[in-house]
């Protein structure tokens, strides 16, 4: 009788372990797709003739929307000399381009002034997202 109980215990343990693993795998794929409580957005202030904007457009723009950063904080382009949409609140007007402003629910949480190159851009953006409470999957 004790041998049967031992087999039953092993069976139950393995089923529970399988269920836990399955739940973990499902969580990995489903939870990032669930809507978060706060909406993040990356504002890019740019202007015609900006060589660093052109460099960013060439190096980062084609892949941005496909990255975890781009999915977490979609890009919205704004003209440096245009009107700020009324739903946005930023700390101060950008002085030069490009200026990237991370907003959460329309309120600025941080910014990157200028474009230091692709490698530095991703590090700085990940830092901004982390400080705003987001998590970038790598």
pTM, whole model, 2 decimals? 0.72
- The predicted-structure confidence for 75-134, as pLDDT tens digits, reads as follows 999 999 999 999 999 999 999 999 999 999 999 999 999 999 999 999 999 999 999 999
| 3-class DSSP assignment, residue 134 | coil
Q: For residue 65, what pLDDT band results from cuts at 50, 70 and 90?
A: very high
Burial pattern 72-107, b for ≥16 Cβ within 10 A else e, equals bbeeeebebeeeeeeeeebeeebeebbbbbbbbeee
- The predicted-structure confidence for 90-104, as pLDDT tens digits, reads as follows 999 999 999 999 999
Question: Average pLDDT, stretch 68-73?
Answer: 96
């Amino acid at each position: 009788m004790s041998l049967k109980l031992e087999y039953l215990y092993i069976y139950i343990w393995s089923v529970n372990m399988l269920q836990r693993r399955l739940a973990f795998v499902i969580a990995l794929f489903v939870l990032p797709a669930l809507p978060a409580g706060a909406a993040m957005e990356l504002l890019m202030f740019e202007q015609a003739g900006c060589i660093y904007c052109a460099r960013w457009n060439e190096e980062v723009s084609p892949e941005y929307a496909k990255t975890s950063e781009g999915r977490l904080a979609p890009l919205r382009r704004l003209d440096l000399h245009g009107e700020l949409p009324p739903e946005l609140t930023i700390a101060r007007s950008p002085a030069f381009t490009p200026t990237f402003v991370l907003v959460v629910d329309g309120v600025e949480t941080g910014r990157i002034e200028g474009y230091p190159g692709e490698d530095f851009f991703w590090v700085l953006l990940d830092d901004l997202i982390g400080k705003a409470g987001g998590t970038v999957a790598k």
